[in-house]
Each structure stands twice: as C-alpha cells, then as structure tokens.
Amino acid sequence: MKPERTEGHFVAPFDEVGLGATDALRVEEAPLSLWADAWRKLRRRPLFIISSIMILALVFIALFPGALTQTPPNENCLLENSEAGPRDGHPFGFTFQGCDLYSRVVHGTQASLTVGVLAVLCVLVIGVTFGALAGYYGGWLDALLARLGDIFFALPLVLGALVITQLPLFRENKSVWTVVLVIAMLAWPQMARITRGAVIEVRNADFVTAARSLGVSRFGALLRHVLPNAIAPVIVLATLELGVFIVTEATLSFLGIGVPESVMSWGHDIAAAQQSIRTNPMILIYPSVALSLCVLSFIMLGDAVRDALDPKSRTR
C-alpha cells in the first residue's frame, strides 16, 4: 500500500503580491462630472485657448467698432480715392467707391456675428424641441417630425435660401432677421436628429427610471434628467454650425440676397471687390481673410469642445 502524499500550498502574504495597490481606489480625489472633466481638458488645449482669444477679439470688435476706427464705413466715400493704397489713418486703403476699407472690414464683423449667433439660437430652440419630443415620446410623434425633417433635408442650405428669399414676403423685407429666419427654417433638421439620437440613448437610463418611480412626470423627467445629460453633442454641433451660418450669410450677401446694402457685410465687400481683383487684389483679400479667420475660430472651438466632451476620452 502506497503512502499518502501530502502537498503543501504556499500562499504569499497579501502585502507582498501588490494586489492592494492594484485594487486601491483614490478616494482623496472626488470624481469629476462630465462638464468639470471637459473644462479641465479644455484649459490645457492650445486649440481651445487660441480659438477663444480669437472669438473674444471678434466679439469685442463687433460690439465696439468705434474703438478701432473713427471713420464711418459708408461716409466720406470720394471717387478720387478709388482703389488708393494705404495712407495715414487708412491702413487698408480704399475700395472702388473710395470708401475706407479698414472701416468696412471692422464694421462687417457685427453683421456676421449677429446673424451667426441669432441663427444658432433659433436652430437650437427649434431643433432641440422637436428632437427631444421625437426621441423621448417616439411613436406617431417621432414619425411625423422625422418626415417633416426629411422635407427640409431635401433642400440644400444655400439653394433653399435662394428660393425662399425670392418670395415677395422676404424680398420686400430684407434685414438681418430675414436672413436669420431663412437659415433657421432650413438648418434645424440636423440639430433635431442629433438631439433625437442623444435623447434615445439617455431616456432608458437607470436614473431616469428612478426619477419616474419617484413620481416625476414624463415631461418633467425629460426636462430635468434627460436633456441635461443629452446636451453635449448638441453643444458641439451648435459651435460648428455657427461658423457655417456665418459663411452662409456672407454667401447670400455676395449673391445680393442677404442683408441690405446699408448693413456692412463681408459678403458685400467681397462681391464689390471682384471688379478690382486685377488692379488691386488687396481690396478682395482683406474681407476674405477676415471672414476666413472668423469661421476658422469657431471651427477650432468646435473641434476642441468635441474632443473634450467625447466620453471615450474620459479617464477614471
């Protein structure tokens, strides 16, 4: 009969295996919310800092153009100064009509930013409202709003604006608000779709179910719990679309169907500079560069915000 073999099992002390350090939680640091974590990332990104400085400068120019130039953009236009080069008090020279080009570029900032900001606000109100209701309630309401959005999706933004602005109501009442209304009418479906998708992703979350079980109404849960947690992609899209709307306003003004001629617009100046492109191309370059920098600043800000709000980039 063979003797029994007894094997000993060695268990290393817990302090020597390093599991304690691996499984330990850093309780001294409070977990950051989505917005706090996004702000922490944005403050460290040069792209966000540069774009913010550019946007703040544009806002200051739009609000206080008199701080940069004392020359009225549409006054003191003398044909004897037509296409004249820079001189003392007129660093950019003069347009074909003899107007101060620097003053027109500075005052053109106001119309572009006004149209862009107001159009984004209108698109947010319409798109978020329709998208949130469609995504949260679903059913026939979702189908109805989806088909309504498809109708407007079929019209490209600039082409649709060309058609709508030729209607008597819009053609006879050209103003900044007319351009804002036309852009909002055509651009809200994309905002609605983004909002709808974000709401559908959040509406069945545990905290929403808990709020409903505690007696919160469906509409109250939508406003207090669903929308605040679905707003991140909406903010990113709004930041990017602001630059798109500024380009749209300049394009419509370039075609002569945007803001009135009495309102300073980079689109008007670019259109008027076509006849001087061979003799004095700087008349075209200055408003074009101003428009490009304005749009670039908002695109850069949108890219930085998108990366900061990306849930995949969050660290534990």
The first and second tokens of residue 133, run together, are: 């209701």
Among 29-33, 49-53, 114-118, 276-280, the least confident range: 29-33
The first and second tokens of residue 256, run together, are: 């002569």
Closest Cα partner for 189 from 157, 150, 155, 162?
A: 150
Domains of the chain: 100-313 (1.10.3720.10)
Residue 11 φ then ψ, to 5°: -115, 120
Segment 206-256, tens digit of pLDDT: 888 888 888 888 888 888 888 888 888 898 889 889 989 999 999 988 888
Segment 4-50, tens digit of pLDDT: 555 555 555 555 555 555 555 554 555 556 677 778 888 888 888 99
210-227 burial: b if 16+ Cβ within 10 Å, else e: ebeeeebeeeebbeebbb
Overall pTM surpassing 0.75 (yes/no):
yes
Q: Are 181 and 266 in contact (CB under 8 A)?
A: no
Diameter over CA atoms, the chain: 124
Segment 142-177, tens digit of pLDDT: 888 888 888 888 888 888 888 888 888 888 888 889
First to last CA, the chain: 60
